[in-house]
Amino acid sequence: MNLLRLFVPENWSSDQNTGTPWYWVTDTGLKGSSLDHGLPTGFRTQVFLPTEEVLVLDIDLPRKGRWREALPFAVEAYLMGDLSSSHIVTDTHSANPRTRAHVLDRNGLSQLLAYLKERGVQPNEVYAQAAMISNHANEWTILMRPYGGCLVQQNGYCLSLDQVDGGSPPQVLSDLLSPLSSSHKPTQIRMIGQGMDHEHMVKLSLAWSENLGIRCVVENDLMTQPMRALAPHATNLLTGEFAAESHASWRKLDGQMKLAVMMLAISAVIWVLGYAVQTWMWGQSIRELKAQAETELRRGFPETRSILDPELQMQKGLAELRAQAGYYAPEELPALLGRLKELGELEGAHLISLDYQNQNALLVWHCDSADQAQTVLGRLKQLGMEGTMKSDTTGQNVTLRLGRSAP
């Protein structure tokens, strides 16, 4: 499935009119600046919030046990508002010894999802824009807006910055760099402007480079660059009550319905396993019967060189034995009779009677001379059959008996 990315405008709220400029882009090259006209459908959708709207914290939590109960108390100290209005997402699988927590406004996220749903958009994932920033070693990135910005450090930690539009770098940035030794300072700072004049950004980068003693380079806006891969520290903010619709629907089911669904799933698994076991047992029985048939074929017909179909080869061998003994199975007689009728076409030999009853056949040829009768007997012998010859007043008769009662 192709990918669609929506960028939420800065300071967006559902109270604003529908003319609020949005920006969206797809991995197929489509771009737009409105959700109400031309928004493509059938895409996996990622929504990106302004980084300043997501508070990033590294907090100390027990990795096991009751860390969920300890989470609100660890986060509350950093909040100015009510903890109950906050949506908290943690990354407990990170290699960072501290727990990375992302905090954003619950009501704002709820309103955003409702706003998008009205326009037919069901986000699969929601991220802060910093989730697209992957820094190289000893590199920092600043996402800059006209009235603020955000610093993304090497490990993905984000820190809000104020007044990034001035000629001097933000004081917070200078305070972060001053205690660091040369080996721990970034060798480069990338400056990504969002809604800022490019020439002005270049002037700022030169001034900051001189002031900080660190090379500052300007990059294009995230929204206008080719679609970036998500950074390793990217965390999907649609968790808990905002999880994907399929998971949310499961949580809404009552206990009895969940139990019924689970029992149905268990029954299906048991049926599949039972069918698999039964199929294996059938296969095992077939393999055993085939091995037994091959053994019987080798015992009855030791001259058999190779065995491809033991049942068919056994039938063929038995048919040959019956023919040699003068006994023929009922299903073999019609084919034999068809061949024997050809003998009636010999010059001087005529088929004068053919009687087929009770799985037995009696054929009589009248021959003009004894020599002709001997010719017919020779042909029968070539076919693996033995006929009898009897003289009468008009010549010689050759008689052939076939079937279960044949002598």
- Nearest residue to 380 via CA among 333, 348, 339, 334: 339
- Three-class DSSP category at 359: coil
C-beta separation of 33 from 52 below 8 A: no
Q: How many angstroms separate the CA atoms of 210 and 193, rounded?
A: 19
Instruction: Choose between 264 and 60: higher pLDDT.
Output: 264
Beta pairing, strands 44-49 & 3-7: parallel
Query: Kindly report the CA angle at 394 between 389 and 397, in degrees rounded to 5?
Result: 20
| C-alpha distances out from residue 80 to 84, 92, 358, Å | 12, 24, 106
Q: How many angstroms separate the CA atoms of 126 and 109, rounded?
A: 10
Q: How many angstroms separate the CA atoms of 138 and 134, rounded?
A: 12
pLDDT > 70 in the chain, percent: 83
DSSP string of 167-230, one letter each residue: SSPPHHHHHHHTTS-TTTS-SEEEEEESS--HHHHHHHHHHHHHHHTSEEEEE--TTTSSPPPP
Q: Give the CATH architecture of domain 1-131+236-243.
A: 2-Layer Sandwich (3.30)
For the stretch 224-254, pLDDT in tens is 666 778 888 888 999 888 885 544 444 555 5
CA atoms within 13 A on the CB side of 275: 6
Alpha helices in 220-301 (DSSP H): 245-252, 255-300
- Model confidence band, residue 47 (pLDDT cutoffs 50, 70, 90): very high
Please, which residues have CB within 8 angstroms of residue 354's CB and are 6 or more apart in sequence? 337, 341, 361, 362, 363, 364
Would you state the pLDDT for residue 246? 43
327-403 placed in CATH 3.20.20.70: no
Q: How many angstroms separate the CA atoms of 101 and 121, rounded?
A: 27
C-beta separation of 339 from 369 below 8 A: no
Q: How many angstroms separate the CA atoms of 151 and 169, rounded?
A: 12
Query: Kindly report the CA angle at 34 between 29 and 38, in degrees rounded to 5?
Result: 60
Per-residue pLDDT for 112 more than 60?
A: yes
Tell me the average pLDDT of the chain.
80
Q: Which CATH superfamily is domain 135-227 in?
A: ATPase, nucleotide binding domain (3.30.420.40)
- Three-class DSSP category at 141: strand
- Model confidence band, residue 372 (pLDDT cutoffs 50, 70, 90): confident
Per-residue pLDDT for 315 more than 90?
A: no
Residue 22 in tokens: 């949005």
For the stretch 199-216, pLDDT in tens is 888 988 899 899 889 999
- Least trusted range by pLDDT, from 113-127, 285-299, 319-333: 319-333
Q: How many angstroms separate the CA atoms of 375 and 387, rounded?
A: 11
